[in-house]
A and B are shown apart, each in its own frame.
Chain A
């Protein structure tokens, strides 16, 4: 029987972890739900961002958070280019399938280049406040995890508002749903789709930085993230940012609590069990996702 203190500590860890998951999955929601693109390379970009954060810290000694000043716009631009130069040239009929393969190719390229540039060695940012923590009713909250959580909240909130409240968000959704019709109401669909993709990658820059604060990174780490992140967006209802956030927090919490009785490896299966349960009982996802179940 686990002690109350351990359960409480695990709840806190789970919530913090869930927040990070939500941030990491946010971009996927964007491409996948709204743009019908299965972006296998998202986690590779996360790792890339984490590497850039690590590298800037290592080389310049700056706080990894500062690297976002460069990586966010950089990734945004890369996303725009990626969409404009590559994805937009795929045939709509086979977009889903081909995008899987194309982004898979990109993931391989990123992994290979990272390995080439930084070797396969595991890296970790050594922060002066890396092991600092604050107490809360007997439990401890690591400062770095709290920062990552904060980044997640800010990024996700911004994204949600952008998609629901701004003309850009509307235009993006319209572009994806009927390109010709969107062009006919005056939307510059090329640009909008490019920006949409750029936005997704920009979240990867934020997410990767958050990730780098408290974990080890290595080039092939992205494989490790693909499964849980995909599971999160399916459970959350494809294309729904709040849904993905809710699913992420819930799954993070469950994973953290399940580790107490089951250990690390078995606890990871919760993602896939949740995924299968979702598909069996509510293919449109448990949190929102309305028409999205079938595409």
Chain B
């Protein structure tokens, strides 16, 4: 089956400094979750930025479906069905939760459809419904994260790129997110997931991919990666119980 999104031999970086990604490739088939793990600074977020069109690769190709969208901007990418949830906090701080969520549907022309999606995300994240009228910048860290996720769910894209979606979320909300990821996969969406909560993420994922120094270090079925003790120690963390 053809991949919904594919990065082939991508080289990318910031400004004049040495490139961050050097010959990175990944393919995410429709209806599957690919989980990208790796140490801090390995280039995971950079991969997602390239995939979403925020960062133009210096070489290599970005394919969405059958189309070559290398170098296309985020709007084109979105139009092609690729959505990204950024790492860290990217709510529109001085706009209300409502405005944030509804802006998620910026590209949808059909008003009724926007309302429908809004109702859906309000159901999914109680915080969003509760704080519908307050300024998003005033929410707690985890609440903001939920708003962001809700915002990205306003469209239902073919490819979802998630940059550490569970960061800062309490266990309940984390579960909601992973359930949602599974549900999207089941609905045929291709999900490229970056997570430091690696064990949890790999449990949800179909394919795991370890990134180090801008290259694919290992990739394979998620379950296999989980079982590899060496990878566990280097990238996934042991069971922290041994600390004391």
Main secondary structure on A side of the interface with B: helix
Question: CB within 8 A of B95: which of A167, A170, A183, A292?
Answer: A170
29 intermolecular pairs with C-beta atoms under 8 Å apart = A167-B106, A170-B95, A170-B102, A170-B106, A171-B103, A173-B92, A173-B95, A177-B92, A177-B93, A177-B94, A178-B91, A178-B92, A178-B93, A180-B54, A180-B90, A181-B92, A181-B148, A183-B74, A184-B78, A184-B83, A185-B103, A185-B107, A185-B154, A186-B74, A187-B103, A188-B75, A291-B94, A291-B135, A291-B138
A184 and B99 contact, CB distance less than 8 A? no
Enumerate chain B residues within 8 angstroms of A174, measured Cβ to Cβ.
92, 95, 99, 103
Asked if A185 meets B104 with Cβ closer than 8 Å, knowing A174-B92, A177-B92, the reply is yes
Chain B residue contacts of A173, Cβ below 8 A: 92, 94-95, 99
By a CB distance below 8 angstroms, the chain B residues around A180 are 54, 86, 90
- Chain B, range 51-108, C-beta contacts under 8 Å to A: 52, 54, 73-75, 78-79, 83-86, 90-95, 99, 102-104, 106-107
A177: chain B residues within 8 A (beta carbon) = 92-95
- CB neighbors of A among B138-179 (8 A): 138, 148, 151-152, 154
- State the Cβ distance, A27 to closest chain B Cβ, in Å: 19
Q: Is A178 a contact partner of B78 (Cβ separation < 8 A)?
A: no
Binding site for B on A (CB under 8 A): 167, 170-171, 173-174, 177-178, 180-188, 239, 290-292
A-B contact count (CB 8 A): 74
Whether the pair A170, B99 counts as a contact (CB closer than 8 A) is yes
How far apart sit A239 and B135, CA to CA, in the bound complex (Å)? 15
- Please give, as numbers and ranges, the residues of chain A lying within 8 Å of B151 by CB-CB distance: 185
B137: Cβ under 8 A from any A Cβ: yes
Q: Tell whether A184 pairs with B93 under 8 Å between CB atoms, given A167-B106, A171-B103, A174-B103.
A: no
Instruction: Tell me if A291 and B93 are in contact (CB < 8 A).
Output: yes
Q: Please pick, from B86, B95, B107, the residue contacting A186 in the complex, using a CB distance under 8 A.
A: B107
How many Å lie between the Cα of A116 and that of B99 in the bound state? 48
New A-B contacts (8) at CB < 8 Å, excluding given A177-B95, A181-B86, A186-B107: A170-B99, A171-B106, A177-B92, A178-B93, A183-B73, A183-B75, A186-B75, A186-B106
Q: How far is the CA of A173 from the CA of B104 in the complex (A)?
A: 14
Residues 100-149 (chain B) with a chain A CB within 8 angstroms: 102-104, 106-107, 135, 137-138, 148
Distance A291 CA – B152 CA, assembled complex (angstroms): 24
Report if A170-B103 is in contact (Cβ < 8 Å); known contacts: A186-B79, A291-B93.
yes
Bound Cα distance A187, B99 (Å): 14
Given contacts A173-B92, A174-B92, A186-B78, contact A290 B103 (CB under 8 A): no
Cβ–Cβ contact B106 & A292, under 8 A: no
Docked-complex contact B99 and A290, CB < 8 angstroms: no
Contact of B92 with A290 in the complex, beta carbons under 8 Å: no
Q: What is the CA–CA distance of A187 and B74 in the complex, to the nearest angstrom?
A: 9
